[in-house]
Amino acid sequence: MRWLIILLAVVVLSACGSLQVQVDVIDPAYVAEQADQPILRSALQVVLQQTDAETKEVFEKQKELFKKIYLTTAKGYRERAKSEPEARANLIGAAQSLEKTAIEEVSKLYDQPVKELIEINQIIRKKFKDMPQEKQVDILGGISRIEGELAGALRERRLRLVAFSKKVTNEIGEAKGKMLEREFNGTPVVAPNAINEAADQAQTSSNTELRSLNGGQNLTEDPFAFAIASAPDAVWQKKYNRAIASGYLGNVDIAIKLVALGDFTIKGVSFDPSTVAQVASKVTTQALLIATQLAGVPVSRVQSGGGGTADSLAVSTKELADRQRKIARLEAKMEDYRTTLLEIASSITRERATLVADDSPANDQARKSAIDAILVTFEQHKARLDLSGLSEN
C-alpha cells in the first residue's frame, strides 16, 4: 500500500498553489555616493570656471529669443500697417505696445533669478576657497566628498535652476498662446508657424543653457536612475517587505494590493468551493475503490456510460463513494463559509481607525470611503454565506 499513499500525495499536492511577492530596497548611502556627489562636483566645476559676467552672458541669448515671441507679432502689426494705411495708427500703436511688453516680460522673468544665481555662485566660490588647498584638490578629483555648507549651497543652486527652468517653460507657453490669439480685422496678425518657431527656439535655448549651468546634467531627468540600475546586490536589502499567499485544491484567486510605494499586502484569497469538492471527492473516491480492489475485496462493476475514470471505477461500493462526495462538499462549503466570515471581519478591522475617528468634516469623506469598502467586500462574498443548500448535498 506504500506506493498508493505516495500516488495520492502527488495528486493532492499537484492541486495546490502559492504566490510570494518580495520588495527590495537599496542603501540610500550608496545612491548618494554614486549619484549625488558627481552631480555636485560637476556643478562646482562650472561655478569655479565661470565668472559672473559669463553667467550673465549665458542668459542674454535666452532673453533675446524670449523677446522674439512678442517681437514677431509686433513685426506683423508693422507689416500690416504698410498694406492698410487707414488703420496705420492702431497697428503701429499695437506694435509699440508689444515691443514694450517684450522688455517688461524679460525683465520680470530673468533679472531677479539671474541676480540670485550670481549671489549663490559667489557664496559657493568663497566656501570652496576657504578650504585647505589639499582638500580642494581631493574634492575636485573625486577623492573627498562634498559635504556641509558647500554641499548645501550647491543643492540649493540646483533647486533654483530647476524651479527657474519650469517657470521659463510656463512663461514661454503663455506668451505663445497670447500671440496666437492676436487678430486684426478678423485675421491673424502673423502666421501661427512663425510664433511656434520663435517659442520653440526660446525653449530649446533655455534647456541647453540651463543644462550647461548645471554641469551638463538634465534638469528634468532623475539623476539616480543609473546608480540604482547598476547597483550591486550587496547594497540591496532583501527582507524589506514580503507578501505571501497560498491556496489548496481547485482554482485560487489572490489579490495583491499596493498600499504605498514598496508596500504590498495580500488583500484577499478566494476559490471556487465546487471545484474543491470535485477534486477532493474524485481523489477520495478513486483512492477508496483502488484500495478495495488491491485488498482483494470482490467488486462488481456498474456501467455508467461516462467513459471516464469514474465510470471505469464505478463499483458495488458506489453508495460509500456517494457519501464521501457529500462529506467532501459539506466540508469544503463550511470551510469556505468560515473563510468568508474572516475576510469580511478583516475588512472591518482594517477600516477601524477611520470608522472610530472623530466627527470632524475632514474625516467624513474618509469614513464614507471606509464604509463603502466594507460594503463592497460584503457584496463580493455574500453568495458564499448562503448555507441553504447544505441539506440538499
Across 334-342, average pLDDT: 81
Question: Rounded CA gap, 37 and 35, in Å?
Answer: 6
**Percentage above 70 pLDDT, the chain:** 62
Range with the largest mean pLDDT of 216-220, 234-238, 377-381 = 377-381
Answer yes or no: is pLDDT of 326 > 90.
no
Euclidean distance between CA atoms 141 and 136, whole angstroms = 8
DSSP string, 94-151: HHHHHHHHHHHHHHHHHHHHHHHHHHHHHHHHHHHHTS-HHHHHHHHTTSS---HHHH
Phi, psi of 385 (to 5 degrees): -90, -5
The answer to pTM > 0.75 is no
Ranked by mean pLDDT, the top range of 33-42, 243-252, 296-305, 312-321 is: 33-42
Encode pLDDT of 86-100 as tens digits. Answer: 989 998 998 899 999
Whole-number average pLDDT of the chain = 74
Cα separation, 112 vs 130, in Å, equals: 27
Q: What is the mean pLDDT of residues 330-346?
A: 80
Q: Choose from 145-154, 298-307, 345-354 the range with maximum mean pLDDT.
A: 145-154
| pLDDT of 266 higher than 80 | no
Least confident of 17-21, 58-62, 206-210, 226-230: 17-21
**pLDDT at residue number 115:** 92
Query: What pLDDT score was predicted for residue 379?
Result: 81
Residue 215 CB neighbours (<10 A): 18
Tell me what pLDDT residue 219 has: 45
Q: How far is CA 76 from the centre of its chain?
A: 46
Nearest CA-CA partner of 340 in 388, 387, 384: 384
Average pLDDT, integer, range 345-372 = 78
pLDDT value for 286: 59
Higher pLDDT, 34 or 154: 154
**d(Cα 261, Cα 270) in Å, to the nearest integer?**
25
Which band of pLDDT confidence, cut at 50, 70 and 90, is reported for residue 6? very low
Does the pLDDT at position 252 exceed 90?
A: no
Tell which wins on pLDDT, 9 or 290: 290
Comparing 4-8, 209-213, 293-297, the range with the smallest average pLDDT is 4-8
DSSP single-letter state for residue 219: S
pLDDT for residue 274 is more than 80: no
Instruction: Quick: pLDDT tens for 178-219.
Output: 888 888 888 888 888 988 998 898 888 887 777 777 665 554
Q: Residue 4 pLDDT > 50, yes or no?
A: no
**Residue 11 or residue 78, greater confidence:** 78
Residue with cell 562650472: 46
Instruction: Give the model confidence (pLDDT) of 11-25 as tens digits.
Output: 444 444 555 555 566
Q: How far apart are CA 41 and CA 260, in angstroms?
A: 34
pLDDT value of residue 1: 44
Q: Output the pLDDT for position 15.
A: 43
Task: Give the least confident one: 66-70, 166-170, 185-189, 295-299.
Answer: 295-299
**Cell numbers representing residue 243 in the block:** 507578501
126: confidence class by pLDDT, cuts 50, 70, 90? very high
